Amino acid sequence: MQKPRRWCAGHAQEQADRCLGCGNPYCEWKCPVHNYIPNWLKLVTEGRLFEAADLSHQTNSLPEVCGRVCPQDRLCEGACTLNSDGFGEVGGGFGAVTIGQIEKYISEEAFKQGWRPDMSHVVATGKKVAVIGAGPAGLGCADVLARNGVKPVVFDRYDEIGGLLTFGIPEFKMEKWVMTRRREVLEGMGVEFRLNTDIGKDVSIETLLQDYDAVFMGMGTYTYMKGGFPGEDLPGVLEALPFLISNVRKCLDLMKPEEAYQDMKGQRVVVLGGGDTAMDCNRTSIRQDAASVICAYRRDEANMPGSKREVGNAKEEGVQFLWNRQPVEIVGDGKVEGVKLVTTELGPPDARGRRTPVVVPGSEEIIPADRVIVAFGFRPNPQPWFEAHQRRHGARFRPGGDRRL
Amino acid sequence: MHMEPWDGPAGIVLTDGRYAACTLDRNGLRPARWVLTKDRILTIASEVGVWQIDPANVERKGRVKPGQMIAADLDTGRLLMPEDIDNELKGTHPYREWLKTNHQKLFNVSFEERDQIIRVLAEDGAEAIGSMGDDTPMAVLSQKVRSPFDYLRQQFAQVTNPPIDPIREAIVMSLNTAFGPERNLFEESPAHAHRVEVHTPLLSKEAFDKLLNLNDPAFAAATLDLQYDPATTSLEAALKALTARAVETVQSGKVILVLSDRNLGKDRLPIHALFAVGAVHHALIAAGLRCNANIVIETGTVRDPHHYACLIGYGATAIYPYLAYQVIGEFVKTGEIKPNLDKALSNFRKGMDKGIYKVLSKMGISLVASYRGAQLFEGVGLHESVVDLCLKGTVSRISGANFDDFESDQKLLHKAAFNPLRPLSAGGLLKFMFGEEFHAYNPDVVQQLQKAVKSGDYAEFKKYSELVDTRPVAMLRDLMKLKAGATPIPLEEVEPVESILKRFDSAGMSLGALSPEAHEALAEAMNRIGGRSNSGEGGEDPKRYGTSKTSKIKQIASGRFGVTATYLVNAEVLQIKIAQGAKPGEGGQLPGDKVSVMIAGLRHCKPGTPLISPPPHHDIYSIEDLAQLIFDLKQVNPDALVSVKLVAEPGVGTIAAGVAKAYADLITISGYDGGTGASPLASVLGLSEAQQVLRANGLRGRVRVQTDGGLKTGLDVVKAAILGAESFGFGTGPMVALGCKYLRICHLNNCATGVATQNEVLRRDHFIGLPEMVVNYFKFVAEETRELMASLGIRQLTDLIGRTDLLDVSAGDTPRQGRLNLAALLSQGSTPADAPRFSQQERNPSFDKGELAEQMVVDALAAIKASTPIELRYAVKNVNRSIGARLSGEIAKAHGGKGLPDDSIRIQLTGSAGQSLGVWNHKGLTITLEGDANDYVGKARLSATPACTARRRANSTPQAWAASASACATPARWRWWKASATTAANT
Residues B528 and B403 in one domain: no
Q: CB-based contact (8 Å) between A123 and chain B?
A: yes
What average pLDDT does range A322-351 have in this prediction? 90
Cβ proximity of A34 and A60 under 8 Å? no
Residues B858 and B797 in one domain: no
Of A29, A106, A25, A94, the closest CA to residue A67 belongs to A106
Is B336 close to A29, i.e. CB distance below 8 A?
no
Residues A264 and A357 in one domain: yes
Residues B609 and B684 in one domain: yes
What average pLDDT does range A75-97 have in this prediction? 72
Where does a domain end: A56, A80, A112? A112
Indicate the burial class of B268 (C-beta count within 10 angstroms; 0-12, 13-18, 19 or more): middle
Residues A107 and A175 in one domain: no
Indicate the range of A162-176, A322-336, B960-974 predicted with least confidence.
Answer: B960-974
Residues B677 and B547 in one domain: yes
Taking the C-alpha atoms of residue A226 and residue A327, their distance in angstroms, rounded to an integer, is 12
Taking residue A171's Cβ as centre, other Cβ atoms within 10 Å add up to 14
Shortest Cα distance, chain B CAs vs residue A160, angstroms: 29
Is B450 close to A148, i.e. CB distance below 8 A?
no
Shortest Cα distance, chain A CAs vs residue B420, angstroms: 6
Cβ proximity of B351 and B121 under 8 Å? yes
Q: What is the maximum alpha-carbon separation in chain B? A: 107
pLDDT at A120: 87
Residues A279 and A182 in one domain: no
Shortest Cα distance, chain B CAs vs residue A68, angstroms: 23
Is B115 close to A85, i.e. CB distance below 8 A?
no
Residues A98 and A208 in one domain: no
Q: Amino acid identity of B78?
A: R
Q: CB-based contact (8 Å) between B750 and chain A?
A: yes
pLDDT at B943: 60
Indicate the range of B2-6, B66-70, B349-353 predicted with least confidence.
Answer: B2-6
How does DSSP classify residue B838?
Answer: S
First to last CA, chain A: 35
pLDDT at A403: 31
Of B137, B155, B679, B647, the closest CA to residue B381 belongs to B137
* Beta carbons within 8 Å of A356's beta carbon, 6+ residues apart: A346, A347, A348, A349, A350
Domain count of chain A? 3
Residue B709 banded pLDDT, cuts 50, 70, 90 = confident
- CB environment A94-120: b (16+ within 10 A), e (fewer): bebbbbbbbbbbbbbbbbeeebebeee
Q: Give the best residue of B105, B743, B745, B767 to mutate against chain A (max A CB count within 10 A).
A: B743
Residue A6 banded pLDDT, cuts 50, 70, 90 = low
Residues B334 and B204 in one domain: yes
Q: Residue B602: inside a domain, yes or no? A: yes
Residues A249 and A342 in one domain: yes
Residues A229 and A345 in one domain: yes
Of the partner residues B421, B431, B434, the one whose CB lies closest to the CB of residue A23: B431
Q: Between B12 and B329, whose confidence is greater? A: B329
pLDDT at B70: 86
Residue B584 banded pLDDT, cuts 50, 70, 90 = low
Q: Between A318 and B946, whose confidence is greater? A: A318
Categorise residue B608: left if φ over 0, alpha if ψ from -120 to 50, beta otherwise: left
Which residues of chain A are within 8 Å of residue B439 when distances are taken between CB atoms?
24
Q: Residue B833: inside a domain, yes or no? A: no
Cβ proximity of B668 and B690 under 8 Å? no
Residue A382 banded pLDDT, cuts 50, 70, 90 = confident
Residue B931 banded pLDDT, cuts 50, 70, 90 = confident
Residues A56 and A195 in one domain: no
Domain count of chain B? 4
Residue span of the structural domain in which B35 resides: 11-92
Q: Residue A3: inside a domain, yes or no? A: no
User: Does the pLDDT value for residue B450 go beyond 90?
Assistant: yes
pLDDT digits (tens, 9 = 90+) for B217-255: 999 999 999 999 999 999 999 999 999 999 999 999 999
A214-217 sheet: strands from edge to edge: A192-194, A151-155, A128-132, A214-217
pLDDT at B805: 93
Is B741 close to A86, i.e. CB distance below 8 A?
yes
pLDDT digits (tens, 9 = 90+) for B183-198: 877 777 777 778 899 9
Q: CB-based contact (8 Å) between B443 and chain A?
A: yes
Q: Residue B836: inside a domain, yes or no? A: no
Residues B395 and B503 in one domain: no
pLDDT at B592: 85
Taking residue A354's Cβ as centre, other Cβ atoms within 10 Å add up to 12
pLDDT at B27: 57
Residues A343 and A229 in one domain: yes
Residues A178 and A92 in one domain: no
Indicate the burial class of B730 (C-beta count within 10 angstroms; 0-12, 13-18, 19 or more): buried
- Evaluate if pTM is beyond 0.90: no
Cβ proximity of B458 and B466 under 8 Å? no
Residues A185 and A262 in one domain: no
| Mean pLDDT, rounded, of chain A | 87
User: Does the pLDDT value for residue A68 go beyond 60?
Assistant: yes
Where does a domain end: A77, A112, A147? A112
Residue B977 banded pLDDT, cuts 50, 70, 90 = very low
Q: Residue A279: inside a domain, yes or no? A: yes
User: Does the pLDDT value for residue B955 go beyond 60?
Assistant: no
Q: CB-based contact (8 Å) between A57 and chain B?
A: no
Q: Residue B451: inside a domain, yes or no? A: no
**CATH of residue B929:** 2.160.20.60
User: Does the pLDDT value for residue B750 go beyond 90?
Assistant: no
Residues B64 and B166 in one domain: no
User: Does the pLDDT value for residue B566 go beyond 90?
Assistant: yes
pLDDT at B975: 27
Q: Residue A152: inside a domain, yes or no? A: yes
pLDDT at B372: 96
Residues B364 and B502 in one domain: no
Of the partner residues B115, B745, B766, the one whose CB lies closest to the CB of residue A85: B766
| Mean pLDDT, rounded, of chain B | 87
Taking the C-alpha atoms of residue A209 and residue A199, their distance in angstroms, rounded to an integer, is 12
Which residues of chain B are within 8 Å of residue A46 when distances are taken between CB atoms?
336
Please tell me which residue of chain B has the smallest CA distance to A34.
B434
Of B64, B71, B76, the closest CA to residue B11 belongs to B64
Taking the C-alpha atoms of residue B616 and residue B620, their distance in angstroms, rounded to an integer, is 7
Residues B557 and B688 in one domain: yes
CB pairs under 8 A between A and B: 100
Is B744 close to A23, i.e. CB distance below 8 A?
yes
User: Does the pLDDT value for residue B984 go beyond 70?
Assistant: no
pLDDT at B838: 95
Q: CB-based contact (8 Å) between A117 and chain B?
A: no
pLDDT at A235: 93
Which residues of chain A are within 8 Å of residue B678 when distances are taken between CB atoms?
none
Indicate the range of A208-222, A302-316, B571-585, B932-946 predicted with least confidence.
Answer: B932-946
Residues B732 and B611 in one domain: yes
Q: Residue A351: inside a domain, yes or no? A: yes
Indicate the burial class of B697 (C-beta count within 10 angstroms; 0-12, 13-18, 19 or more): middle
Residues B63 and B172 in one domain: no
Q: Residue B875: inside a domain, yes or no? A: yes
Q: Residue A251: inside a domain, yes or no? A: yes
**CATH of residue A374:** 3.50.50.60
Is B421 close to A148, i.e. CB distance below 8 A?
yes
User: Does the pLDDT value for residue B770 go beyond 70?
Assistant: yes
Q: Residue A404: inside a domain, yes or no? A: no
pLDDT at B678: 30
Q: Amino acid identity of B73?
A: D
Indicate the range of A2-16, A157-171, B343-357 predicted with least confidence.
Answer: A2-16
pLDDT at B828: 84
Q: Residue A117: inside a domain, yes or no? A: no
Q: CB-based contact (8 Å) between A28 and chain B?
A: yes
Residues A193 and A331 in one domain: no
**CATH of residue A35:** 1.10.1060.10
B152-154 sheet: strands from edge to edge: B152-154, B377-379, B395-396
Residues B874 and B949 in one domain: yes
The DSSP element (H or E) to which B228 belongs, if any, is strand B227-228
Taking the C-alpha atoms of residue A68 and residue A70, their distance in angstroms, rounded to an integer, is 6
Indicate the range of A98-102, B464-468, B505-509, B584-588 predicted with least confidence.
Answer: B584-588
User: Does the pLDDT value for residue A395 go beyond 80?
Assistant: no
SS (H, E, C) A350-405: CCCCCEEEEECCCCCEEEECCEEEECCCEECCCCCCHHHHHHHHCCCCCCCCCCCC
pLDDT at A402: 35
Where does a domain end: A112, A144, A167? A112
**CATH of residue A212:** 3.40.50.720
Residue A31 banded pLDDT, cuts 50, 70, 90 = very high
Pairing of strands B727-730, B704-708: parallel
What average pLDDT does range B341-349 have in this prediction? 95
Residue span of the structural domain in which A30 resides: 9-112
Cβ proximity of B421 and A149 under 8 Å? yes
Q: Residue A123: inside a domain, yes or no? A: no
Residues A270 and A373 in one domain: yes
Of B469, B429, B382, B427, the closest CA to residue B151 belongs to B382
Is B434 close to A86, i.e. CB distance below 8 A?
no
Q: Residue B625: inside a domain, yes or no? A: yes
User: Does the pLDDT value for residue B963 go beyond 60?
Assistant: no
Is B766 close to A86, i.e. CB distance below 8 A?
yes
